[in-house]
Amino acid sequence: MTTADNRIVLTIEEAAQRLGIGRTSMYALIKSGDIRTVTIGRLRRVPVQCLNEYVSNLLDQPITPAA
């Protein structure tokens, strides 16, 4: 049995769940280009590698103090 934990590509919903965000927020991140996707046939999938890159980029951003 295949689970989302060992696949290299995820559905939009699975990717959102993995990041702990909503589906609408996930679509916004994809639309803005912050998270890359691939098309397999007619399906859009999010490679796990792209989720890792997104989080890594967040960690690389400078910390700005709250105003």
* pLDDT values of the chain reduced to their tens digit, one per residue, 67 residues: 456 578 999 999 999 999 999 999 999 999 999 999 999 999 999 999 999 999 999 998 888 777 6
> In the prediction, which pLDDT does 2 show?
56
How many CA atoms does the CB half-sphere of 36 hold within 13 Å? 8
For residue 41, the model assigns a pLDDT of 97
Predicted confidence at residue 61, as pLDDT, reads 84
Domain ranges of the chain: 9-60
CA angle 47, 53, 58 (to 5 degrees): 135
